């Protein structure tokens, strides 16, 4: 079992930055696939970014603005979000799984989830 706890969300103006953190416990995550998803009101949960060892991948909507990273010593994953836009407003979730599935951009590919952290970007 893996427990995930997100933090770092908040209210920021358009063009600003936030750094989300995801703290993992219960099992080492050094070899786990870690991802960030987000869900806006009335919309489906969508893929944001994924990291596995040195491999990373991003949704087109955040490429060049967001950076995913991990610190295995701290069992943590981060999402640095720059140049934020109002359309980035959503609840952001951390997810984990033991392997990189072919459909890693789908929320169904992950077994473990955090409770989410709200990010609100004002215009």
Q: Whole-angstrom Cα distance, residue 68 to residue 51?
A: 7
Q: Read off the pLDDT of residues 11-27 as tens digits, 9 standing for 90 and up.
A: 999 999 999 999 998 87
3-state secondary structure of 107: helix
Q: Which of 1-5, 42-46, 96-100 ranks highest by mean pLDDT?
A: 42-46
Distance CA 78, CA 48 (A): 12
What is the pLDDT at residue 74? 92
Q: What are the φ/ψ torsions at residue 76 (nearest 5 degrees)?
A: -135, 150
What is the arithmetic mean of pLDDT over 89-103?
A: 93
Share of the chain above pLDDT 70, in %: 100
Alpha carbon distances (Å) from 33 to 43, 52, 72, 102: 24, 5, 12, 12
């Amino acid at each position: 079992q893996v427990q995930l706890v997100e933090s770092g969300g908040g209210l920021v103006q358009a063009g600003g930055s936030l750094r989300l953190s995801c703290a993992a416990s219960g099992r080492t995550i050094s070899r786990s696939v870690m991802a960030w998803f987000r869900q806006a009101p009335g919309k489906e949960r969508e893929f944001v970014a994924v990291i596995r060892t040195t491999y990373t991948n991003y949704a087109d909507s955040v490429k060049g603005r967001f950076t995913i990273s991990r610190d295995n010593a701290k069992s943590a994953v981060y999402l640095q979000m720059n140049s934020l836009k109002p359309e980035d407003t959503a609840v952001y979730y951390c997810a984990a799984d033991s392997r990189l599935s072919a459909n890693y951009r789908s929320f169904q590919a992950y077994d473990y989830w955090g409770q989410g952290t709200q990010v609100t970007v004002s215009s």
